[in-house]
Amino acid sequence: MSSTESCQIDTPVPATPSGSGELGFPATHAPTVIRLSGSVEVVRGGTVRPIRPGALRAVFVALVLENGRYVCRQRLLDLLWDKCPRSAPVNLRGCISRLRHDLAAIDPVLGASLVTLKGAGCHYALQIPDAAVDVRHFQHHAERGDQQRRAGDRWGAARHFHAALSAWCGPLGPGCAGSSRLDALFETYHERCLTVRERYAESLLQLGHTLELVPGLRDLLRSAPLREGAWCLLLRVTYLGGDLDATMGAWHEAVATLADHGLNPSAEMVRLHLAILRRDDAAIRNPYHIPGSRAPR
């Protein structure tokens, strides 16, 4: 599974506009913190307790990602094994039992939050408050950022995207032993993080930041070299920052990178290149004004 070491564009977030409220969830004391990105661990009272790697860790992450919903036994089996051995149901029950024991040793309330619903097929849930989980903070602020972006609130979008990326500490679920379905689930979060990085950079560009965004975009492209959105952002920030040589160099680099994978630049990327050649600053600053380009979604 591909992953990125960091999801942060290293540019200070703009100051909170006067009259705006604070970011984040309601002020709630969360004595236990659950980390799924960068590491899989429970933090309580300043003590870090990693969750045992392997299948037990995979079960823990899968349950936390369900946001308290009950998960049927078959779903968990599918996330653990591509081809379930005969012993899989027994092994899963053993994982659940050990996980409940380990969580209770960290925090009795946390141990009790792992609930089994017996009956048709058996269902499990890990009922943890949103405020305790790093990935839920990421999702919450990413969604709020998208809402502000669609509403045209650049300040609000930048602040929420910054908060989302601050909650994300690295690859999701390292040390989990699971199936290709679990890897695919993790990959959807990785892709979401890359999208948030691009949208954060776009928000900062709309607020007047240019060349200071280059290192973060370069880092993004090292981990995902085929993302045309990031290449287009790099073209725009270097052009609007006054470094035309870097812009043209990035264009040729992007075309070569895509060609190495049998791809051509998209129509939108070509239209942006033509706007650069025409020195159409307005279109480059807001490429959605270029005929044929898509508005924010």
Domains annotated on the chain, with CATH:
12-195 (1.10.10.10), 210-297 (no CATH)
For residue 119, what pLDDT band results from cuts at 50, 70 and 90?
Answer: confident
d(CA 287, CA 254): 18
CA dihedral (133, 134, 137, 139) positive or negative: negative
pLDDT given at position 121: 72
Residue 69 vs residue 121, higher pLDDT? 69
Task: Give the least confident one: 57-71, 83-97, 108-122, 239-253.
Answer: 108-122
pTM (2 d.p.): 0.85
Report the pLDDT value the prediction gives residue 287, as an integer from 0 to 100. Answer: 78
CB-count exposure of residue 151 (10 Å: 0-12, 13-18, 19+):
exposed
Residue 228 has pLDDT above 90, yes or no: yes
Q: Cβ(59)–Cβ(97) under 8 Å?
A: no
**Are the C-beta atoms of 116 and 76 separated by less than 8 Å?**
no
Q: What is the pLDDT of residues 46-102, one digit of tens each?
A: 899 999 999 999 999 999 999 999 999 999 999 999 999 999 999 999 999 999 999
Mean pLDDT in residue range 99-122: 90
The rounded percent of the chain whose pLDDT value lies above 90 is 81
Residues in a beta bridge with 72: 123
Query: Distance of alpha carbon 293 from its chain centroid, rounded?
Result: 25
* DSSP category for residue 178: -
Tell me if 207 sits within 8 A of 158, measured CB to CB. yes
pLDDT at 1: 40
Distances (CA, A) of 104 to 51, 81, 97, 117: 12, 26, 11, 18
Which whole number is the average pLDDT over 138-146?
98
Within 207-243, residue ranges assigned H as helices are: 214-223, 228-240
